[in-house]
Chain A
Amino acid sequence: MELSNLKPVSQNLWEIPRTGSMRVPGRIYLNKKLLVSIFKDNAIDQVKNVAHLPGIQKFSLAMPDIHWGYGFPIGGVAAMDAEHGVISPGGVGYDINCGVRFIKTDLNYSDIKQKLPQLADALFKAIPTGVGSKNAISALTHRELKELLCEGAKWAVNKGFGLETDLEAIEENGCLAEADPEKVSSKALKRGSNQVGTLGSGNHFIELGRISDIFNEGIADQFRLKKDQVIVMIHTGSRGIGHQICDDYVYKMVSNFAQLGFDLPDKQLACAYIRSELGEDYYGAMAAAANFAWANRQIIMNLVERCLMKELRISNSTLGFELIYDVSHNIAKFEDHFIDGTLKRVCVHRKGATRALGPENASLASKYKKTGQPVIIPGDMGTESYLCVGTDNAMLETFGSSCHGAGRVMSRNKARKSSNIRQVQHDLDFKGIIVKAASNHTILEEMSSAYKDVSEVVNVMAEAGIVQKIARTLPMAVIKG
């Protein structure tokens, strides 16, 4: 694929014309600077591949953090006709409902500046991190785990992890009602039983940050955010249970694929008709994993709150911990969107993309009706992150979706080889950022130069009118897996 094959639609939007067996064109949000890096791997071909899926509506979309994945690109969005279309586990990914939450505190940067090393150490000890991390709370019995899979974040709240009011600040209130634990294999249950409340590895993180800039005073006021305020972000997902559910169903759909009567350019796009038994089974299991992830982030948030109160010797009212929002990055959900002027039920696949509903959307809690849904876009561990809100234009152009982060530009293997831990640590120290990680490999893999410039990525979305920027945050202490 070459640049000459892309047709400019507007300053930040490019179209891949429909060719061959593509059912719809592709569309990618990029500016000219980001466009340069996109041809280094196969991500654009993956946008084209997704356009082959039966039932896809309007466009196969990619957000500006697009990079090469498997099946779908990371940063990919596709909406399928809910009655006649397909559902693809490859369009959700293995880390089902990997997502991020943004929490405000009532603390000021100056309140904790001198205590950051102590807080980073305490958080690193309090939250299990790294490969196969486990036992943040007692291992659950299968019965308890199945209850969690049905109830999501509410299960965690009922067990004393957080408040009922947290739920309205979570996409879908932290629970997909279609979850069916009976569609989750015993293999997957085994991988999930002792991982509730754990961070995992890779790009997952807990970040203690501060607000450096406010772009929209009105909405920031409504969220009670101001400059130099301390915030926390938590990025993790459904851990081993989500990985296994995806693996189980990709296997089933690959095995069953010959029955469907159409061809696809990549086996990882294996799918089933949404209204088939296999499609419905996958959705029930995927929803269960999504609920696990919401409970996981809810528990970690509460563990972080308890840790900060203990280390700072302050009450919860002084800390003022309040969830601003929790968004999913890897999920398929049934939503209503206008297609050619008609409201239609579609199954929106977001793989490395964030829901970004505009104001007045019926799915939003009343406190977000005027502002639009908060959209959290983290950068890497050494750079800024953004809090935005969704817009009416996102509803028109992207099925209410935005980018989910900066997006990688360098492989993990190359990142390990292209720098050394001393240099990366020195660069972080220079910026005043403390990073604690389960392994030095993770710090190298996650260094800033392995990612796109998140400000560039967010500006593409803002200039295209998909999101509105509210605030920028800077990292102070980061816990990595």
Chain B
Amino acid sequence: MKWKILPHTADYAFRVYGRDMQELCLNSFQALKESMLNKFSVSNQVSQVKLIKIEAAEPALLIIDLLREIHYLIVADKIFPIDLKIENLNNSNLRAKLKYRQLKPEDRIINEVKAITYHAVEIIRKDEVLMIEIVCDV
């Protein structure tokens, strides 16, 4: 399992799993994308690539700030993210290339995520698997 939705009374929360930090970042990206956009409605023809650079004090914040960046691109720049390739990752820096195309009329934002929060964010290791729980304001 890459990720799953968690019960949250008012907002929207998901738990993401990964064997290492890179997989945790990629699965978090996938969780956000599938939470916000109708995955069945679209072609995945890439038209553009954007370089994303994140700097943060700790790994959990790298993931939150990566999702914040992608969330902004979806809601403000109206992009449909297709794939994320991580080029460089350490405890305080992340550099990745986001492949995307512009949102089309047939695409549907299925969940109005207002923002990605930092609520109780931490990376937990359990049985050689990393986990992070992310709460989104909806």
Contact = CB atoms under 8 A, between A and B. Distances in A.
Interface stretch (A117-125, A251-259, A316-324, A333-341): A251-259
Interface of A: 40-41, 43, 67-71, 74, 90, 93-95, 131-132, 187, 190-191, 200-202, 240, 243-244, 246-247, 250-251, 254-255, 258, 266-268, 270, 408-414, 441, 481
Given A267-B121, A268-B119, 14 more contacts: A67-B10, A95-B114, A131-B109, A244-B76, A247-B115, A251-B65, A255-B56, A268-B117, A268-B118, A408-B10, A410-B9, A412-B12, A412-B138, A413-B12
User: Chain B at the A interface: mostly helix, strand, loop or mixed?
Assistant: loop
Nearest to B120: A266
A200 B112 CA distance: 9
Contact of A70 (B11, B65, B111): B11
A251 B137 CA distance: 15
B112 A71 contact: no
A270 B110 contact: no
A445 B113 CA distance: 14
Nearest to B119: A70
Nearest to A352: B10
A411 B8 CA distance: 5
Contacts of B118: 250, 254, 267-268, 270
Interface in B66-111: 68, 72, 75-76, 109-111
B12 A69 contact: no
A407 to B, nearest CB: 9
10 contacts: A70-B120, A70-B137, A71-B117, A71-B119, A94-B114, A131-B109, A202-B112, A267-B118, A268-B120, A481-B112
Contacts of B117: 70-71, 90, 250, 268
A254 B61 contact: yes
Interface in B18-33: none
- Please name the 3 residue pairs, one residue from A and one from B, whose CB atoms are nearest each other, closest first: A70-B119, A267-B118, A268-B119
B5 interface: yes
A94 B57 contact: no
A132 B68 contact: no
A411 B11 CA distance: 7
Interface of B: 5, 7-12, 56-57, 61, 65, 68, 72, 75-76, 109-112, 114-121, 135, 137-138
Given A67-B9, A200-B112, A187 B119 contact: no
B115 A94 contact: yes
A38 to B, nearest CB: 11
A450 B8 CA distance: 12
A240 B75 contact: yes
A68 B109 contact: no
Contacts of B68: 247, 251
A129 B72 CA distance: 20
Contact of A187 (B5, B76, B109, B110): B76
Contacts of B135: 70
Contacts of A414: 7
Given A68-B9, A412-B138, A258 B110 contact: no
Given A71-B117, A94-B114, A251-B65, A191 B75 contact: yes
A247 B120 CA distance: 16
A413 B115 CA distance: 17
Contacts of B10: 67-69, 74, 408, 411
Nearest to A413: B5
Nearest to B135: A70
B110 A413 contact: no
A409 B9 contact: yes
Nearest to A441: B110
Contacts of A71: 117, 119
A202 B9 contact: no
Contacts of B138: 202, 412
A266 B119 CA distance: 6
Contacts of A67: 9-10
Nearest to B13: A411
A125 to B, nearest CB: 19
B69 to A, nearest CB: 10
Contacts of B114: 94-95, 243
Contact of B120 (A187, A200, A202, A267): A267
Contacts of A411: 7-10
A40 B7 CA distance: 11
A246 B115 contact: yes
Contact of B57 (A258, A268, A408): A258
Contacts of A410: 9
A65 B116 CA distance: 24
Nearest to A254: B118
A435 B68 CA distance: 33
